[in-house]
């Protein structure tokens, strides 16, 4: 059996069997996403990553079912986990990629809501400031800085802190490559850690019940292409665990994953298959991993968060529920 075959079989095995051993009883349903999956007055948002390919490589197919699911679920906003534009980001706020990979792909009325992106490594190959500046030009692209935060309140008075961070400066190979990533060496990594700590402190003082952090690079990933980001083990991971963050959302690897190490309070959720996918695999932390074009739907109501991975045909390929 060759290496590629082992990877594919690993992905299938993960999607069919690993879910059975988890205390939260996640499921792979294969049913269409419908209104019955959304509780009345639930707070809903979508998560998609690694998508900007001029509508190609399944991007348009995923976008079509994002539209249909948005018409059903009425999300508050859409989170992008980075690598928003391939292969070299954007050159300016007038780059054709804005129309070809964003505006003309996610064009339906249901998707004319706020998009909150983070930067990926491919975005750093272009003009990252242009992605920030596009916030002033667009009615829905909301990215005020390389890292930023806001809080939302649900209809049942739950407070949710969303923290969007820039993981790129912490990956050594990018900082060393001035040819491909000239802006990364300029980033003040200590300043961002201080900012992250201050946001967590303020969130605790405000007694915010839910904390979600979004970055491009995974802490944990079973995908053989990139896998775990070891640089985040001693820096980001302890902050997530100590502050009892319920979920860390990321992309970078081109698949859908749910990782949760034994004893962890954090769900590590990877949504990086908004377009091109790569062969997936599983390892000891994997609750689900699938080489499937798609995106994530997340709902919060009361003390419960629900996650649905939806594929490019509108089918739920994985579902999960947890208490706060």
Read off the pLDDT of residues 75-98 as tens digits, 9 standing for 90 and up.
Answer: 999 999 999 999 999 999 999 999
Stated as kind and residue range, the H or E segment containing 43 is strand 43-48
Helices and strands: H and E segment counts in the chain? 7, 13
Instruction: Give catalytic residues, as residue numbers.
Output: 226
pLDDT of 29 reads 58
Phi and psi at residue 9, in whole multiples of 5°?
-65, -40
| Mean pLDDT lowest among 6-15, 250-259, 272-281 | 6-15
pLDDT of residue 177: 87
- Provide the pLDDT for residue 14: 39
pLDDT band at residue 167, thresholds of 50, 70 and 90?
very high
- Residue 19 has what pLDDT? 37
Measured at the CA of 234, the angle between CA 236 and CA 160, to 5 degrees, comes to 20
Tell me: the pLDDT tens digits for 17-47? 333 333 333 445 589 999 999 999 999 999 9
> Measured at the alpha carbon of residue 317, what is the angle toward residues 314 and 318, in degrees to the nearest 5?
130
Higher pLDDT, 176 or 312: 312
Does 130 have pLDDT greater than 90?
A: yes
- Cα distances from 289 to residues 4, 16, 286, in angstroms, run 15, 10, 7
Select from 1.20.140.10, 3.60.21.10, 3.40.50.300, 3.30.1050.10 the CATH code of 3-323: 3.60.21.10
The stretch 185-208 carries a mean pLDDT of 95
What residues pair up with 304 in beta bridges, in sequence order? 301, 323
pTM over 0.85, yes/no: yes
Q: What is the largest CA-CA distance in the chain?
A: 55
Question: Up-side HSE of residue 277: CA atoms within 13 Å toward CB?
Answer: 27
Query: 7-11, 96-100, 137-141: which has the minimum mean pLDDT?
Result: 7-11
Q: What is the pLDDT of residue 17?
A: 34
């Amino acid at each position: 059996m060759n290496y590629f075959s082992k990877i594919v079989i690993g992905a299938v095995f993960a999607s069919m069997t690993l879910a059975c051993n988890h205390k939260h009883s996640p499921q792979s349903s294969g049913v269409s996403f419908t209104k019955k999956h959304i509780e009345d007055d639930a707070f809903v948002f979508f998560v998609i990553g690694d998508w900007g390919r001029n509508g190609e490589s399944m991007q348009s197919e995923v976008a079509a079912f994002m539209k249909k699911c948005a018409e059903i679920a009425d999300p508050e906003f859409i989170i992008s986990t980075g690598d928003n534009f391939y292969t070299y980001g954007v050159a300016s706020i007038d780059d054709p990629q804005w129309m070809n990979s964003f505006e003309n792909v996610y064009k339906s009325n249901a998707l004319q809501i706020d998009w909150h992106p983070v930067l990926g490594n491919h975005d750093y190959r272009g003009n990252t400031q242009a992605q920030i500046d596009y916030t002033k030009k667009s009615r829905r692209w909301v990215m005020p800085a390389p890292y930023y935060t806001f809080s939302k309140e649900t209809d049942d008075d739950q407070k949710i802190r969303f923290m969007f961070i820039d993981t790129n400066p912490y990956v050594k190979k990018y900082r060393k490559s001035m040819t491909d990533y000239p802006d990364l060496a300029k980033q003040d990594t200590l300043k961002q850690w201080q900012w992250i700590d201050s946001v967590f402190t303020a969130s605790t003082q405000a007694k915010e019940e839910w904390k979600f952090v979004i970055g491009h690079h995974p802490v944990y990933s079973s995908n053989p292409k990139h896998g775990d980001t070891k640089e985040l083990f001693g820096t980001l991971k302890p902050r997530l665990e100590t502050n009892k963050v319920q979920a860390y959302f990321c992309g970078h690897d081109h698949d859908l994953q749910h990782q949760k190490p034994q004893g962890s309070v954090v769900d590590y959720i990877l949504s990086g298959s908004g377009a091109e996918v790569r062969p997936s695999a599983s390892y000891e932390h994997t609750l689900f991993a699938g080489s499937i074009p798609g995106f994530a739907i997340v709902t919060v109501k009361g003390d419960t968060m629900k996650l649905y991975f939806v594929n490019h045909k509108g089918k739920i390929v994985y579902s999960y529920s947890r208490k706060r």
